[in-house]
Amino acid sequence: MRLKIAMTMTTVVFAGAAFAATEEQGLESVKAFTLEHNDALIVEAEKMQTAAEDYAALIDANGGDYVAAWAAEPQKLAESVQALRAQWLAASNQYETIEGIVAGIPSTAKYDLILDAGNPGTEAEGVAEFDLTLPDGTVLEKPGSLFHTITEPLFWGTDKDHVKVEADLNGNGSADPGEVLFDANLALGAAQGMVKWAKALRDDMAAWEPNRDDAFTAVVTMTPTVGDYFGEWKESQFLGGDEAAFVAQSRLIDVLGIMGGCQLMYSAAVSPVVATSDAALDSAVTNDFDELIALVSETREREAAGETFSAEEADALGSEAQDIAERIVSQVLQAAAKNGVEIKG
């Protein structure tokens, strides 16, 4: 039953994506997958830019006075901040899906530093080599990664240097941690930077020639993220708090999409290699992927049917998913070692 549901969901998610007959065909499908998510990243980043423009417009309408803006438009500003956070998560999820590939390819690795993993120029190593020009003309030299150094702490109010005023965004009567209005100039500049660099990544990704090392790297870096996503689904139900990010749709839908992508990459590009050297290992990994997708699909079906999960059930499901993913990764890494594959990142 579980397998049947999985097959149905996978078909829905990847309709039209034919499984490859050869490693070469599989590698091409990996590239197509990466470009697809890169395009989605651009779309989400553009929506983030729109949200940042809306936020900045509300501040500008009050002459740049954040206190006055909050007094005049609390509802619109609260919605604007929530929109920025939601778009941040949407864009970040798209990037995380292809981070393993982007970071693993020499010609695109610099984008991983700029978008997600780089340090500011004040650090000794891993510096994101770019400057960010803000709408008011200010140039931030080597400011760090757009996702984690700049926008994440900005949108969630933990970048104290750019907090403008505390604000009761959720209307519960007090400004709780993270409930702030932040620098609109930086928010808009960073969102514009996100769009710019996501597009630059797309250009270089389009020029990339896929290869075996990158395919293996993608599978072993992306598959273990199931625990994070499953965990967010689980935690959102029982810990309350800032659930805005997960109200639009169940996190399980994201899990299904991302893990389906991992399964596709394994089946298309990695399996032909593993099967040649160790058919039993390939069969084990294939079965584990089927089991993982089935577990997520079945849980999503139950959730869609209105079932509520106890904390113990949610935990058990999350642990089971993570265990399967870790089993997959350990086996793929063993196959990689047998086949002399270099895992990057």
Partner 1 sequence: MKLKSQLRYHARALVVGAILAATLVLSLIWMTPAARPVGVAMKDIPFYRLPFGPDDAGTERPFWPSRLQSHSGQFSDPDRLPSAAECGNCHQREFQEWAGSLHAIADRDLIYEATVEANENADKRHPERARFCEGCHAPAEMLSGRVNRFVSVGPSDALTEGVACITCHTATHADGEAGNGAITLAYGRAEAERDAPQGAALLADPRAHLNAFAAPETTALLKSAQLCGSCHVEIYDMSNSRAEVAQPVQTTFLEWQSSWYARQGITCQDCHMASDPAAQVMAIRAGNTAKPERYSHRFVGGNHLLTDTGLGDALSVLRGGMLPGMDAATTKATLDVQSRQTTALLRSAAGLELRASNRDADGLHLDIAVQNLGAGHNLPTGVNDQKHIWLEVVLTDPTGAEVFRSGGAAERLGVEDPAAVTWIEHFLDSKGRRLSDHLTFSTAKVVWMRKPIPPRGEDVVRYDVALPDGTAGPLHLSVKLFYRIALPELIFTNLRRDMALPSFTMAELSVDLPDSSP
- Distance between CA atoms of residues 5 and 294, nearest Å: 6
C-alpha angle with apex 301: 300 to 305, nearest 5 degrees? 115
- CB 254 within 8 Å of CB 93: yes
Within residues 136-175, the interface with partner 1 by CB under 8 A covers 148, 156, 158, 160, 170, 174
Q: Which is nearer to partner 1, 70 or 155 (CB)?
A: 155
Work out which of 202, 234, 251, 300 binds partner 1, going by CB under 8 A: 234
What x/- string results for residues 261 through 300 when contact with partner 1 is judged by CB under 8 A?
Answer: ----------------------------------------
Kindly report the length of the chain: 345
Work out which of 235, 254, 291, 298 binds partner 1, going by CB under 8 A: 235
Work out which of 5, 220, 285, 296 binds partner 1, going by CB under 8 A: 220
**Closest approach of Cβ 144 to partner 1, in Å?**
11
Tokens of 300: 């999503």
Question: Among residues 93, 55, 76, 77, which one has the least CA distance to residue 179?
Answer: 77
Largest CA distance in the chain: 68
- Distance between CA atoms of residues 84 and 88, nearest Å: 6
Work out which of 83, 101, 117, 187 binds partner 1, going by CB under 8 A: 117
H or E element at residue 69 = helix 66-72
Tokens of 236: 């959102």
Residue showing tokens 């933990």: 158
**Closest approach of Cβ 220 to partner 1, in Å?**
6
**Closest approach of Cβ 228 to partner 1, in Å?**
8
**Closest approach of Cβ 289 to partner 1, in Å?**
15
C-alpha angle with apex 268: 262 to 273, nearest 5 degrees? 105
If one asks whether residue 239 binds partner 1 (CB under 8 A), the answer comes out as yes
Tokens of 40: 């989605």
Site of interaction with partner 1 (CB under 8 A): 116-117, 122, 125-126, 148, 156, 158, 160, 170, 174, 176-178, 220-221, 224, 234-235, 238-242, 245, 310-312, 314-316, 318-319, 322-323, 326-327, 329-331, 333-334, 336-337, 343, 345
